[in-house]
Each structure stands twice: as structure tokens, then as C-alpha cells.
Amino acid sequence: MKTQSAEKLAIRILAFGIAKDILEDNVIWMEIKPGSKVSDLKEVLLEEFPDFEKLRYVRFAINESYVDDDHVISQDDEIAIIPPVSGG
């Protein structure tokens, strides 16, 4: 019999700008259920780190491209939290 945790994916999330300040690190590890969408990840993140609620928006990038909420996350994806950008 498999344990609950064995069914989870360990994913690595990059953080930049104010997201790095909120997470107090430029990379964090999280466990998600296989088949989880970006929207699921966002929900968990907002729950654990309510400071994200204060931002203008929180977007996600997977493999260096913006993704929508319904994108399904894979183990090997490079996932990044994109807080409001301010280049230029």
C-alpha cells in the first residue's frame, strides 16, 4: 500500500522580486498531487503565504513562458512565480 506522500510530486518553484521577499528565499520546494493545475498551486501558495494577496497580481511561468491557471504541472517543469513586473 502506497502512502499518501508517495503519490505527490515534489516541485521546485523559482521566486523573483517581491515574491522572493515573501517566501524569504529565491527557490522553494512544494508537494502537489499529480495532475495539479497552476490554479491549485496558486491556492496552496496564497494559503501558506497570505502576503501574496496584497499584490496587484500573481502570475506563473512554466519553462520560461507565461501559463494560464488551467495548465497542468509536470514533475520536470521549471516553475516560477511572477509577481507584478516593473522593468524599463
Partner 1 sequence: MECQIYLSEQPLDGNEVFRFLQTPASGGMVVFTGTVRDHFENKKVIRLEFEAYQAMAVKEMERLAAICAEKWPCHRIAIHHRTGVLQVGEIPVIIGVSCTHRREAFAACQFLIDTLKESIPIWKKEVFQDGSHWVSAHP
Point out which residues bind partner 1 (CB under 8 A): 14, 16-18, 21, 54-56, 61, 64-66, 80, 82-88
Say how many Å lie between the first and final Cα of the chain, rounded. 54
Give rounded-to-5 percent helix, strand, coil for the chain.
Answer: 30, 30, 40
In the complex, what is the shortest distance from the CB of residue 68 to partner 1, in angstroms, rounded to a whole number?
A: 15
In the complex, what is the shortest distance from the CB of residue 87 to partner 1, in angstroms, rounded to a whole number?
A: 3
If one counts every other C-beta atom within 10 angstroms of the C-beta of residue 19, the result is: 24
In the complex, what is the shortest distance from the CB of residue 22 to partner 1, in angstroms, rounded to a whole number?
A: 10
By beta-carbon proximity to partner 1, the closer residue of 5 and 65 is: 65
Residue type, 5: S
**Residue reference for cell 514533475:** 75
By beta-carbon proximity to partner 1, the closer residue of 31 and 78 is: 78
